[in-house]
Structure 1
């Protein structure tokens, strides 16, 4: 057998965080260090849940000696029992010579009607016709549809009868958890706050939560909803490389990922010639990969049956109507930017023509904006602890029969404008996220509101695009009322970023609020006023527009905002500026400050001098980091001096700072909700425009208030 697995270097044990300690304490035996999968995988082409099933048996511990012994055991099991296709003849020889041998392989079973027996086919071993007893099929019906990874004992007995297959199935055990304790799961959940629980789930998926914004974490969690919610219809379209299909192929033994072009009515729903039920009858989730593509050929009959199934959870077999619980997921790649799609078509434009149909699209409960999901990079993978995926898959499956969709109604009421289908979509997304995040139902009003807003946005993205395709449909006001009667509007992020394109051809809202400041494209050299052309004579310079006063909020994940639009106009003409911000400690925070210094320098006359004072707090994480902070600030002081800006720093006690703000001697006071740290983490690649231009960076959610002091 191949020993290449043993060539993978040992993973060095990462420093265990407080969260990892708590995870091992409250979920002993069902969590595993996530970097171990790479350590044991080698060249074994098996799903993650298969490897973690084995790791869960032998390495579910935080004791380093136990982990290393478990890795060695799993490697040995893979080396001796996993079947590589290139070595199938060697494995068959081993079975023949020994008489019996254990293998790990994907097994699919079919019914041989002529012989009235079930027969198994082993994908990698390359043998077929192996007789399977009926009790095995009754216990594991998924063997009949798509195949299941199993640990099997295969025996060999040759017969002179050429019709007799020499391979005999001694035993078969599908690789999935047999049972778990629901009460223990719910009790242990109470030991985590919401932030810790979200991070545990992110680590269970395999990602490092520190690399994701809260909004980015929620997109990953929405991908789990089809596993916990029956008949949930989800679509995600976005750029390549964002991990859209990973969860549906690797995360759970209850999900089936198929190529969008490989599905047929008999395979998906029912084969009328023999009455055999298709994938939706056996799998919790059926995901269609590579679903996008305008020119893809589609089966109209399949589209019609799918529409009926997505709406009514049923399909027909001749005169008989059958029901199923499988959730449907559609993932595909987009080839254009969001503003391009909004300007020229809609956000469903990449779908095959037969699916670009309001009747089909209206069945979708949620649209994940894949363009907001980061392209997967190496540093985004976790080396912390997370659930053995087979365990969390069983947890999610066990909750599919529960309904949490009404848990918001004691605090909030949906808009009466919202139709039954819109309401169903919102309810299903809300219910799914509640079951994932708060399985015991204990959630505060603020936590419930966060989930409700996210659920409304996911359905609004679907409905708004349908309205662009079918203008006869009535417009909907998406939002909710709280118990005080206050109306809360919900908007999609692309609606906030590109209002001109988003509302193209739509009725304008009366008394539409003033748009937040955004930048022109730095690559285009600035914006051109409406009606102007490059041959127009230069117009007289217009007076400076009056600066906005009041409060504005910016959404997490929003783009198109920079210091040049947000702050610099308010600082022009000032000769004394004071910034109060306790968090100018780390490299990216110091970089933000330096970028503001650059903006101030561009906005002043070269001969003018500006005094800039920073009031901040010394880094409390040790002398080494405090020294590094001072080095950053000294470098800024040196660079600012060259630009005609006298930069000074005052370090104060943390309790002395109450509000983060900027004040000028021209009378402006700007209250900064997050200080200058408003941008999310970037890849720091020299080839990423966001590294150079702030307007291409994603924001953290924050508020800002502009106040102007009037002189007596």
Structure 2
């Protein structure tokens, strides 16, 4: 299969050696950044010069505590400095001034400027999202003699982190060259896992379920798992499009909109917000947060004061669970924070991931071989979020029984659509769908994920007791009304 993978995806395949190599693990780089470096420096045999990569990292990937030194070089020494980082831009409504911030270094908009000629040269790259990864070149605009114009750090140039154009149609066509079982292995390699380390397809499928929020908008999931199953790694280190929040305090301002700063929160500009170690998270105002989450998770819209916003980020709860409570028929949500002890909020989570079906991390699960570039793969998943054709196919295939609960229907269809995008991205119409595989790998697991939520709702609230997910079926004749 490796030959097929390299033939089909060519430059988007890199050699990853996480089992033996300590070079990148010692640097604590996220997967997407590591694979970007591998793509840049590896030869056709997967070999790279460690010294060459080290020099690049030292020059272009500064640490946060290097920021004073960088400011000295820019402001005092009057140098132009280039490095790789996240950048966010803002346009002042009153004076049309364009500024930027560097979130990782604490550089704020009030201290920066993008002059018109630079803006017109790179605006197409910078307006695509809330934050953009790329190589920034910074200089300094001196203050005017009368100090009416303050000194500002200015953007000289910007080069996008992803310099190549991704062809979604090519990706879809290439998928058709692989069997379903082969494709499972391709996906696992893309997210840094060795497929041979899993005992069966059930374990592999459970692992891939974590990727569903990467590929489907506003997919809300709960995962409870034993310690050591690498929840934090997948949601926090693999994709640059998501956000992992670990413990601490979460407020409505941070999550949705900060009125004092007039700044949108985490749900804006991220594909998903994963609340890790959810048992340790506290909320500044439980009732306020619960109301905001219920509204947002239902419609994708939130209101804070006079501000109304919309976003596509999914909400993911990640928590640990003891072995004696790994039972969908018991009250598994009892240890969740009190904000989640309300059935109306839990009902808005589409599905549940049984984290105990995913093996604990061990060396044999670490990839050591050729695999899809994580940065490329996660960008593909990000782009597939906008493709509505898969939901149209699901709507044509899935038969909804009479009097089905609307939230159940939406949850099952949304999860099914995510599975379809992830496992069968090559299908372009209902005629392309293998109904047996669709049932096995999309509809059935989606229904099971929703069914666990329903069982927990029945334990939490007597109103839901005994209510199961409707028996969704597959339409054999697509011309039926």
Q: Which residue of 2 aligns with 1:447?
A: 437
Residue number among 377, 383, 388 corresponding to 2:368 in the alignment: 383
Alignment TM-score, normalising by the size of structure 1: 0.58
- The alignment partner of 2:240 has SS state of coil
Given that 2:394 and 2:413 are in contact with CA atoms closer than 8 Å, whether structure 1 keeps it comes out as no
| 1:383-422 to 2 correspondences below 5 Å | 383-401=368-386, 402-405=388-391, 407=393, 413=399, 416=402, 418-422=404-408
2:41 to 32, 50, 58: 58
- Deviations 1:561-595 (CA, angstroms, capped at 9, x unpaired): xxxxxxxxxxxxxxxxxxxxxxxxxxxxxxxxxxx
Cα distance in 1 for partners of 2:85, 2:390 equals 38
Is 1:370 aligned to 2:355, yes or no? yes
Shift of 1:453: 1.1
Gaps of 5+ in 2: 477-481
Tell me how far 1:285 sits from its aligned partner. 1.6
CA contact (8 A) 2:251 2:283 kept: no
Contact 2:15 2:38 in 1 (8 A): no
Task: From 82, 86, 95, give the equivalent of 1:102.
Answer: 82
The alpha-carbon distance between structure 1 residues 308 and 389, as it changes in their structure 2 partners (threshold 3 A), is: same
Query: Whole-Å Cα distance in 1 between the matches of residues 465 and 319 of structure 2?
Result: 28
1:123 aligns with 2:111: no
- Looking at structure 1, the residues matched to 406 and 327 of structure 2 have their Cα atoms a distance apart, in angstroms, of 31
When residues 132 and 287 of structure 1 are mapped into structure 2, their CA distance, relative to the original with a 3 A threshold, is farther
Q: CA deviation at 1:477?
A: 4.2
Shift of 1:318: 4.2
- Per-residue CA deviations over 1:24-69 (Å, capped at 9, x if unaligned) read 110011111222795653643432212222322333x6x22xx334
Aligned to 2:223: 236
Quote the Cα distance in structure 2 between the aligned partners of 1:336 and 1:110.
48
Q: Distance in 1 between matches of 2:114 and 2:223?
A: 39
Q: Secondary structure at the match of 2:231?
A: coil
Count of residue pairs the alignment pairs up: 458
Q: Give, in angstroms, the shift of residue 192 of structure 1.
A: 0.6
Bigger-Rg structure (1/2): 1
Q: In structure 2, how many angstroms separate the alpha carbons of the residues matched to 1:154 and 1:360? A: 46
**CA RMSD across the alignment:** 3.4
Seen in structure 2, the aligned counterparts of structure 1 residues 172 and 39 have a Cα distance that, compared at 3 Å, is: farther
- The partner residue of 1:48 within 13, 31, 44 is 31
Q: Is residue 91–residue 125 contact of structure 1 (8 Å, CA) maintained in 2?
A: no
Cα distance in structure 1, aligned partners of 2:37 and 2:395:
43
Q: Distance in 1 between the 2:373 and 2:467 partners?
A: 42
Structure 2 Cα separation of the partners of residues 87 and 256 of structure 1: 24
Residue 6 of structure 2 corresponds to which residue in structure 1? 24
CA offsets 1:414-463 (integer angstroms, 9 cap, x no match): 55574211111111111101111111223422211112111111000111
Q: What's the secondary structure of 1:280's corresponding residue?
A: coil
Deviation at 1:181, TM superposition (A): 1.0
Secondary structure of the residue aligned to 1:325 is coil
The question of 1:173 aligning with 2:155 is answered no
For 1:154, which of 127, 133, 138 is the aligned residue?
138
Contact 1:204 1:385 in 2 (8 A): no
Residue number among 459, 465, 469 corresponding to 2:456 in the alignment = 465
Query: Could you tell me whether the CA contact under 8 Å between 2:18 and 2:367 is conserved in 1?
Result: no
Alignment equivalent of 2:236, drawn from 228, 246, 249? 249
* Alpha-carbon distance change, 473 to 179 in structure 1, aligned in 2, over 3 angstroms: same
Q: Contact 1:142/1:282 (CA < 8 Å) preserved in 2?
A: no
Query: Is the helix fraction higher in 1 or 2?
Result: 2
Superposition deviation, residue 157 in structure 1: 6.6
Assess if the C-alpha contact under 8 Å between 2:352 and 2:452 holds in 1.
Answer: yes
Q: 2:479 maps to which residue?
A: none
Q: TM-score, normalised by structure 2?
A: 0.83
Which of 341, 344, 351 pairs up with 1:356? 341
Q: Decide whether the 8 Å contact of 2:213 with 2:272 is kept in 1.
A: yes
- Distance (whole Å) between structure 1 residues aligned to residue 420 and residue 466 of structure 2: 28
Distance 1:175 1:272 in 2: 31
Residue 246 of structure 1, CA deviation: 2.0
State the Cα distance separating 1:71 from its structure 2 match: 5.6
Bigger relative contact order, structure 1 or 2 (CA pairs below 8 A, ≥6 apart): 2
Indicate the SS of the match to 1:29.
helix
Change (3 A) 1:454 1:98: same
Mapping of residues 274-289 of structure 1, within 5 Å: 275-289=262-276
